[in-house]
Chain A
């Protein structure tokens, strides 16, 4: 019988009450008395030398309080990068300066040049019009391969070239991989593009800086997925403010998808300005601004090669990728195409030899960083595409080719050739589940029926693995991370038994307020309504690393479980005192402490009251109060995996692709709230299908973003998507975290793009277009039609 509370119950999201009734409190809802408004004047050219910025006339405009330019930030640091990658020759990456406001050069359309602070937003905007900027235009660097040519213009004059790093992984395997290809019976090659995406969370970025003159206390309200990380980066590296004098608050945040992980210049600028002008300063991005200032995602050019023996066993895999960094290094940008991408290149397969080469390139475009999945979708896409291509070239069933090469259920824990160790998994089970749920057996009949209607029907499969629960700090430290990746929780039990939990994780749509409460309510045996989750404010929660990489429950939840266990242990001590029994004899179940084998017991509230009203209490051996903090640092990543199937039809007259069915069979380990997991998968699938079918960043030859509004950047809508079939009944619990959970936030966006493209190719080849073995995303009607008519 399904539970109606606790772990495993589809409890309705308590936060939705405020979100759905307009009661959410977002950063833009925060207005502080005396607040001023900031407007950023941004570069409208992609590359140029900043000859002069004349603010004289603008400064005299009505309402203008102050105009900031690069010169005002001369005494502060630049925007830091949080990860240093070492290249295949042992050299650290080229790391350019990233000034808060453009200094000397502008490097992408949208690069901020000046910040006007005025009484009203309109006044600030009007004054920005009056700033006279003289830019000597330089030829922009846009194409990654051209950017690496010796005569290419340089994005950063102080660097030796536009190459950030040339990374090889595992470099020692390079020769062995080459050798394996020489002797292989089959050698499959595929060139593909992983298209650049704009994250487009529903809520654009907002930052409000506040400063208290008498205490020297700074407060930044910001749309962030990780307020503690922003406090550390901005305080320590940019503005030089000790953490004790800097509070960062990320209240309700309307989606992030990665784009709100990073420390952005606007956050530092308003915090700095608030102190200078001694008034609060607010900046709210317009949607147009978000398109040219939020870090973007993906943008890889890849050649992937697969070697197989005569029996179709995978022998070796080799990839060469050009990864676009954009104009500056965003907070985690260097780690995405390397450690979050190369380490996943083994996929679900026992390929013994893998070599991954990644050249990260600077261009005059918006910076690129993690976007839902971050590196893992890029790895999965190329791997699952080439396996499909291999199956077609070899004339074998794509399902069988995968099954044959899967890491088998009895091989776990499994050491891959790309450093990571998968703890658990059962890929045959998820594949079985997919074929069952999608009625794969009935596909041939359905294809026949489509044919009668003049349509081309196709079925595409992809199997993915991701590394989530990011991540063991000692490991990522060795890989170049400049931060730890633990998580924290403080569990505060109140006198009358209710519980307030302060988590270092951050919820911006994930439903932590519901699921985290479910876990603790079950552990203590009280109703979830007695458990409150507090997050997003550095002034009340312990230092945490925030939410991304599907890590909240696996890492943040584990910290919370750890702290709750400390609470239970202490509560047992109190109970043993009150019950005059030995601590070992105290049993705790359903909120009741019982002396084993007797009917003598104390309730949860008896204990919590005793802790705060310690009249009868072992004060000589135990502190009063009931509050515990725990930090949890995982010993490994978690490895969610799953099989995805896409069934679609193509209209041969127009090239239009219509997705008819999409099935996801995931193994997320244990599941706390199936309804929320299902919602996470739905959202991920929508974004993955969006990438595969619709979304794309297009820059013109001058570096202007042509798809810079929702008129030209096609976001997926309800009628672009089928009803999803989502299953997570295949469970191999994670072996190294207390809940046995793996994470589900990114899976949908990782597994779906190759399933869609594989289905498109399947439909075309079945329909007689056997010359088409690849179409780059997005598979728009124009691209499909063009491929069909190109012989």
Chain B
């Protein structure tokens, strides 16, 4: 299965680069990701829970990085095993290019699946992969792009409400604030 596309992201290439290599960003952006740990040098260990057509599975896998050209391009390779559901593996060549609006991210994915998920046929698997990619980038752009004026105003209202609620019961979340632009704020932009 091959999947190629490009996305224009309203953030500087340096920020996009840092985000791609941040396990927490990937954790938040990969749909169904339950954990993502590790480092760029050692690779990441990931657990992703997903439903492909009628098959639900928890994929555990390893992601590694190669051909790294700092700030410009890299190759991501990974393999996930989903038990009796089968496996998915593949690679993505990712290139970043500065453009007026920020960064153009281009990716070429070459992936293959095996076992039960392959048996379901390419119609399900291909559209599933496309959906996963769309969802990933929607979340990724959310993380790295600055919020618009309207979004800021809306967020302020929500925050005010949340502050009230927090007085009554202390927040028990994982501590991360995942509203739009959270990665920007986290790294202090």
> A288, B118: Cβ atoms under 8 Å?
no
Given contacts A41-B84, A44-B86, A125-B84, contact A708 B121 (CB under 8 A): yes
CA distance A45 to B87 in the complex (A): 9
Residues of A contacting B118 in the complex (Cβ-Cβ under 8 angstroms) = 44, 109, 700, 704-706, 708
**Proximity string of chain A (37-74) to chain B, C-beta cutoff 8 Å, 1 when within and 0 when not:** 00001101100000000000000000000000000000
- Give a binary string over B27-71; 1 marks a CB under 8 Å from any A CB, 0 the rest: 000000000000000000000000000000000000000000000
| Least Cβ–Cβ distance between B140 and chain A, in angstroms | 30
List the A residue with the shortest CB-CB distance to B113: A704
Most chain A CB within 10 A, of B83, B87, B112, B122, is at: B83
Q: A314 to chain B: closest CB distance in Å?
A: 44
Tell me the complex Cα distance, A547–B113, Å.
39
| B120 part of interface (Cβ distance < 8 Å) | yes
Q: In the complex, what residues of B have CB within 8 A of residue A704's CB? A: 112-115, 118-119
Q: Contact: B123 with A712, CB < 8 Å?
A: yes
CB atoms of B83 and A128 under 8 A apart: yes
Rounded to whole angstroms, the CA-CA distance of A30 and B112 in the bound complex is 40
* Chain A residue, CB-CB nearest to B1: A700
Contact of A707 among B86, B112, B121 (CB under 8 A): B121
- Determine the chain B residues whose CB is within 8 A of the CB of A128 once the complex forms: 83-84
How far, in angstroms, from A291 to B118 measured CA to CA in the complex?
12
The answer to whether the Cβ of A445 comes within 8 Å of any Cβ in the partner chain is: no
The answer to whether A708 and B114 touch across the interface, beta carbons within 8 angstroms, is no
Q: Measured between alpha carbons, how far is A363 from B87 in the docked complex, in Å?
A: 22
A708 touches B84 (CB 8 A): no
Interface residues of B in 96-128 (CB under 8 A from A): 112-116, 118-124
Complex: A705 Cα to B87 Cα, angstroms: 14
Do A44 and B87 touch across chains, with their CB atoms under 8 A apart? yes
Bound CA span A700–B86, Å: 15
How many Å lie between the Cα of A707 and that of B124 in the bound state? Answer: 12
Verify if A702 is at the interface (C-beta below 8 Å from B).
yes
Q: How many A-B residue pairs have CB under 8 A?
A: 55
* Interface residue A129 (Cβ < 8 Å from any Cβ of B): yes
Interface residues on B, range: 10 to 19
Q: How far is the CA of A125 from the CA of B83 in the complex (A)?
A: 10
Among A129, A130, A702, A709, which residue has its beta carbon within 8 angstroms of that of B119? Answer: A709
Q: Find chain A residues with CB under 8 A from B115 CB.
A: 42, 44, 109, 704
* B residues near A761, Cβ cutoff 8 Å: none
Task: Please report whether the interface of chain A is mostly helix, strand, loop or mixed according to DSSP.
Answer: loop
Q: Chain A, interface size: which category?
A: 20 to 34
Q: What are the interface flags for A708-721 relative to B under an 8 Å C-beta threshold, 1 for contact and 0 otherwise? A: 11011000000000
Asked if A44 and B123 sit within 8 Å, CB to CB, the answer is: no
A292 interface residue per 8 A CB criterion = yes
Q: What's the nearest-Cβ distance from chain B to residue A724, in Å?
A: 31
CB of B134 to closest CB in A, whole Å: 23
A44 and B120 in contact (CB under 8 A), knowing A125-B84, A128-B83, A129-B84? no
A702 to B122, CA, bound (A): 14
Known: A44-B114, A45-B114, A702-B114. A708 touches B119 (CB 8 A): yes
Which A residues touch B113, using CB under 8 A?
704
A541 to B115, CA, bound (A): 41
State the CA gap A143–B86 with chains docked (Å). Answer: 23
Tell me the complex Cα distance, A704–B121, Å. 10
A711 touches B123 (CB 8 A): yes
- List chain B residues, Cβ under 8 A from A44: 86-87, 114-116, 118
- Considering the complex, which residues of chain A in the window 612-654 have a beta carbon less than 8 Å from any beta carbon of chain B? none
Contact among A109, A129, A706 for B122, CB-based, below 8 A? A706
Nearest CB in chain B: distance from A531 CB, A:
46
Please, how many angstroms separate the alpha-carbon atoms of A345 and B37 in the complex? 64
Bound CA–CA A41/B83 (angstroms): 9
By beta carbon, the residue of chain A nearest B119 is A708
Distance between Cα atoms of A128 and B57 in the complex (Å): 13
Known: A44-B114, A109-B114. A705 touches B83 (CB 8 A): no
The interface residues of chain B lying within 8 Å CB-to-CB of A42 are 84, 115
Q: In the complex, what's the smallest C-beta–C-beta distance from B32 to chain A, in angstroms?
A: 17
Q: A129 near B116 (CB under 8 angstroms)?
A: no
B112, A702: Cβ atoms closer than 8 Å: yes
Interface string of A86-117 (1 = CB under 8 A from B): 00000000000000000000000100000000
| Residue of A with least CB distance to B122 | A706
Q: How many angstroms from the CA of A136 to the CA of B155 in the assembled complex? A: 51
Type the 1/0 row for A277-289, where 1 means its CB is closer than 8 Å to any CB of B. Answer: 0000000000010
Nearest A residue to B118 via CB reads A704
Tell me whether B121 and A711 are in contact (CB under 8 A). Answer: yes
A672-706 interface code vs B (CB 8 A; 1 in, 0 out): 00000000000000000000000000001010111
| Chain B residue at minimal CB-CB distance from A713 | B121
Distance (Å) between the CB of B82 and the closest chain A CB?
A: 9
Contacts of B86 in A (CB 8 A): 44
Q: Mark B121-154, 1 if CB is under 8 A from A, else 0.
A: 1111000000000000000000000000000000
Would you call B119 and A705 a contact (CB within 8 A)?
Answer: yes
Complex Cα gap A674–B116 (Å): 43
CA of A291 to CA of B116, assembled, Å: 10
Contact between chains at B84 and A288 (CB < 8 Å): no
Closest to A701 in B: B112
Contacts of A288 in B (CB 8 A): 116, 119
Q: In the complex, how many angstroms separate the beta carbon of B172 from the nearest chain A beta carbon?
A: 30
A712 B87 Cβ-Cβ under 8 A: no
Which residues of A are in contact with B by a Cβ distance under 8 Å? 41-42, 44-45, 109, 125, 128-130, 288, 291-292, 700, 702, 704-709, 711-712
Given contacts A109-B118, A128-B84, 20 further A-B contacts (CB under 8 A): A44-B86, A44-B115, A44-B116, A128-B83, A292-B119, A702-B112, A704-B113, A704-B118, A705-B118, A705-B119, A706-B119, A707-B121, A708-B118, A708-B119, A708-B120, A709-B119, A711-B120, A711-B123, A712-B122, A712-B123
Interface residues of B (CB under 8 A from A): 83-84, 86-87, 112-116, 118-124
The 6 closest A-B pairs by CB, nearest first: A44-B115, A708-B119, A129-B83, A704-B118, A712-B121, A44-B114
22 residue pairs of the A-B complex, CB under 8 angstroms, read A41-B84, A44-B114, A45-B87, A45-B114, A109-B114, A125-B84, A128-B83, A128-B84, A129-B83, A129-B84, A288-B119, A700-B112, A700-B118, A704-B113, A704-B115, A704-B118, A706-B118, A708-B120, A708-B121, A709-B121, A711-B123, A712-B121
